Structure formats: structure tokens, C-alpha cells
């Protein structure tokens, strides 16, 4: 899985900034919070990543707030009219919801890639 760092249920894509000469990342998918981190070495990057998440979780605990999750478990998918119609017809054939059909398709895709 590419350049992805994971910790305590959070993940971020790691990038390199040639301008700043460091590695950096941002926890994406949080609507009300911005968590970024950086490091000149992989060791520094990992430490700053973990420290940033630990700080965020401790802050939420102190404020008695639920920490945001990156993925909520639901999303809008824009298929286009033709693909949407085909998916709906296939879901009817299989006697399942279109949501279940899409979940099956994504699950199968992730198993093969």
C-alpha cells in the first residue's frame, strides 16, 4: 500500500517536500480538525506522526469530545447513468440492494489487488 503510515486507526499518505527537504503528511478526511506532521528523517516523521495523533486524542479526552474518524462508513459514489443502471439491474437480479452490490464489488476488487 503506497506510502501510507498508520497509527491508532488513523492513516496518512507520506509525501516528500523538495522545497523544505523533509517528509510530511496530513491526516485526511477530518472535517473539523487538521493534523499534519513532518520530519527530516523517517524516524523523525514517525515520531511526529504518532505525537500528533496522541496529542489530538488527549485533547479530545480533555475536552470530552469524540475524536473524528477519517472514514465514516458511508460515501457518495458517482457512477454515471449507464453504469448506475447496470448496477441497479444486477442488484435486482441478485435480490440485493445496490449498496450491497457495490460493497461486494469493492471487496472483490480489494482482494485481487
Residue 21 lies in a domain: yes
Pairing between β-strand 10-17 and β-strand 4-7 as defined by DSSP bridges: antiparallel
Q: Are residues 53 and 14 in the same domain?
A: yes
Q: Could you give the number of structural domains in the chain? A: 2
Give the Cβ contact number of residue 35 at 10 Å.
17
Q: Are residues 45 and 90 in the same domain?
A: no
0.85 surpassed by pTM: no
Residue 71 lies in a domain: no
Residue 75 lies in a domain: no
Which contiguous run of DSSP H or E holds residue 78? none
Q: Are residues 18 and 45 in the same domain?
A: yes
Give the pLDDT confidence of 74-103 residue by residue, as tens digits.
Answer: 888 999 999 999 999 999 999 999 999 999
Residue 69 lies in a domain: no
Q: Are residues 11 and 55 in the same domain?
A: yes
- What range does the domain containing 103 cover? 81-112
In whole angstroms, give the CA distance from residue 12 to residue 40: 17
Position 89 scores a pLDDT of 95
Q: Are residues 19 and 48 in the same domain?
A: yes
Give the pLDDT confidence of 41-86 residue by residue, as tens digits.
Answer: 999 999 999 999 999 999 999 999 999 999 888 888 999 999 999 9
Amino acid at each position: 500500500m503506497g506510502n501510507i503510515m498508520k497509527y491508532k486507526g488513523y492513516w496518512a499518505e507520506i509525501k516528500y517536500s523538495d522545497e523544505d527537504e523533509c517528509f510530511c503528511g496530513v491526516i485526511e478526511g477530518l472535517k473539523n480538525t487538521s493534523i499534519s506532521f513532518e520530519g527530516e528523517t523517517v524516524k523523525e516523521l514517525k515520531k511526529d506522526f504518532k505525537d500528533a495523533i496522541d496529542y489530538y486524542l488527549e485533547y479530545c479526552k480533555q475536552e470530552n469530545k469524540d475524536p473524528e474518524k477519517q472514514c465514516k462508513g458511508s460515501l457518495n459514489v458517482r457512477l454515471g447513468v449507464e453504469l448506475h443502471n447496470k448496477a441497479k439491474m444486477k442488484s435486482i437480479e441478485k435480490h440485493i440492494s445496490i449498496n450491497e452490490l457495490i460493497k461486494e464489488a469493492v471487496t472483490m476488487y480489494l482482494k485481487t489487488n
